[in-house]
Amino acid sequence: MNAIAPQVSSATPLPSAAELDRSLRDASPAEVIAAALKAVGRDKLALVSSFGTESATLLKVMADVDPAIPVIFLDTGWLFEETLAYRDTLVATLGLKDVRSIKPAEETLSREDPERDLWFSDPDACCRIRKVEPLTRALKPFSAWLNGRKRFQGNARADIPVVEDDGARLKFNPFANVSREELEAIFVRAKLPRHPLAASGFRSVGCMPCTSRTAEGEDERAGRWRGRAKTECGIHTMKSS
């Protein structure tokens, strides 16, 4: 279904994250997205997508609800060419109406990563200037955002709620309760194209220097920042302002 985004009055108080989480605890991903639309309206809602190996599923569900919801894509300057091509494929396939590619500030890159080797010496700082800071800027106009984290991905994601407060806005996790099997069923049922790198062993794809193939039996995110204690880029641990 294509939903007409409701017009939400700026005077209308937003429901709390706790209230929404209680009411949506057992909701389907489409119901969660529709609830986010109802809560803040299309102009104040964004979906943040990496256009990674599982991204097509959330984007498909969103497009079925309202393909004009803004989608924020962080073009870090270190992405695989295959990811950029996949983004274009999914935009065309799903009929996405408003995909915004956000890049790091050139001034910041020149000052803090002039040799493009920060990913090696300080990966947290690299993620901060290439992901966290650009996303913080991009989200400023919005009152809520959607993302594709799932509990089955483990680590810091094992106990995520369906709705949370990131410090400045509502954060909806429509796929929090979705299983690997349900995710695969969406791919198959909708005949969604796969990320070009998935067939060669990349189960989770981020920036080139910090992404490697995943071996059989490994956690699906084991190929991210391999050999380091780091498991998140920071956009899901930041407190927005």
* Residues recognised as catalytic: 233
3-state SS record for 72-93: EEECCCCECHHHHHHHHHHHHH
DSSP category for residue 207: B
Check the CA dihedral 50-51-57-62 and report its sign.
positive
With b for 16 or more beta-carbon neighbours within 10 A and e for fewer, the 111-127 pattern comes to ebbeeeebbeeebeebb
Q: Which two tokens stand for residue 168?
A: 């400045």
Q: For residue 204, how far is the Cα from the chain centroid?
A: 12
Alpha carbons 36 and 93: distance in angstroms, whole number: 24
Alpha carbons 176 and 241: distance in angstroms, whole number: 24
Pairing mode, if any, of strands 45-48 and 144-146?
parallel
Length of the chain: 241
DSSP category for residue 99: E
SS3 label, residue 181: helix
Q: Which two tokens stand for residue 79?
A: 């992405």
